[in-house]
A and B are shown apart, each in its own frame.
Chain A
Amino acid sequence: MSDAQYFKVAIIGGGPAGIGVAVGLAKRGVGPVVLIERRAEIGGTPMGYRKKPGGVPTFVEWTRGRVVFGEELAGRLAKRLAHTNTAIQLGTQVTKIDPAEKRLTLLGPEGVCDITADAVVLAAGAREQTPAEKGWLAGARTSRISFTRHLTGWLERHGLLPARKPVVMGSDLIAYSAAAKLREAGSDEPVMIDQRRSPGAGLFERLFFRRWTRPDWSGGVTAAEIKGDRSAAGVQSSDGQEWPGDGVMVCGELVPNTELALLGGLAVELPSRQLQLARGQALSQPGWFAAGNVLRGFHGAQWCYFNGRRVARAVSRFL
């Protein structure tokens, strides 16, 4: 196809990291730049955490030294993006990449099209591990086995609770924020279970969430099964301990969204699915970079934004 539209830089993902890259490139006068976002709005994961009076703010804005709602933080970032000349393609998904040619295949409301670029930044974020991916959680596949993403969806968009007696699997910051949100919305005090011996969230983080939740903690669970017939009815450990409930939350332990890189032939480690990184967060093919939570582990929205800014520097140096 010769009709592929050309951009200097293509950014895959319109969350904080992708916005950071776009803003960083604009400051350096690099263009034209396209930002491709598969959802209908810019802002990524934090956008799902709506601002509401009495709600639980869960996003740290280090530069202002305070904790805010994701929507506020994402909104501020989106405003910075609006001041740039970045072309934004919403509701558009990259379905295929050709790393050598730096060509992307897009599916959007207009159909399928290809674009090419001199550099591509993967800022596709991360998702929560499925029960099967955890490896220590088996059992029934019922309804109301929910991710934190579902919790924010049901709660923030529809005011609905995925569980009244929640059992939270996982204990990192995301798990605590889920517990706090559930509690604030009227659920019972959650039970929190993890394979780790002590909670994954740090002491200060746990102290912060104490205002809303003091989950009933059980650590060191090496194997557990979800119980229930049609909907989740709790969790049972391999040594017979039972935690009844009416919904199981599968929280945190992020997996980077590196499928495009993996299927496109960029170097990705298995089974962790982590990208192999060189200096400046460059990937295994020249002209390919990564920014934000697609790297590995779990980082706050603002960290991702500044990481994107830093990658913009590496990209402009490459160009």
Chain B
Amino acid sequence: MGRVIAIASGKGGTGKTTVTANLGIALAKLGQKVLLIDADVAMANLSLILGMQSSPITLHDVLLGEAQVHDAVYDGPEGVRFIPSGLSLDNYKRVDSERLTSVVSQLTDQYDFILLDVAAGIEKNVLSALSSSQETIMVTMPTSPAIADALKTKIVAQRLGSKVIGVIINFVMNEKGEITKNDIANMLELPIYGSVPYDPEVRKSFMQEKVAPVIVRKPDCPAAQEITKIASRITGLKTSDAPSAKKVGFLEKFFSFFKIKGAK
């Protein structure tokens, strides 16, 4: 039986879809069999982040009972597999998201990890995704509105029987006013899996002829490296057991911090 983990945040814009895509690929690189499911049936965009927007059969079709779940599974980057949600608003209004639990249960024995990309908010499709998972990881930002929404989502997940196992802090810029990792751990009463730094390379990954997650396009950038460490922590591997990224020298780090072009 694989682990079914919901990646949730409550607040929109915390980067949970980006984290889900990159974390899934990082887990696959560690040798895990990974399935990503775009459980955001209303605002699906995991397929865009993976660069796999043309998928004829989607989760919508499966939830509508018009397709078998195995027909909606696609091969993604680095061996990861993927079930997209459809972009159609008509189908979104017709789908019964409560069927997600039975869809997920058909797949758990085939994967080591099933990651569900959960929508923002605490509406019905969010509840469906949370109750389909055994575990939940919160993605938040080091700001009070994001943490407030993460708190509410944690309470909802627990009510639905999903164990909230940890937090990923995203968009960390190390400004004085940011809420620190320790404060977030205390406020949410959860362990911190990692702090993903704000990294322009993540944004640039959407601005390519062929879109690919940053962990594929720039595996040595700070955000990709931190996500690789988070994947190791989730699997229980020591960070040193994970495939090491290229060593980055002091000058390279220094120049990349100040974004000075031609520093290499």
> Is chain B a partner of chain A in the same complex?
no
Could you tell me which B residues sit within 8 Å of A by CB distance?
none
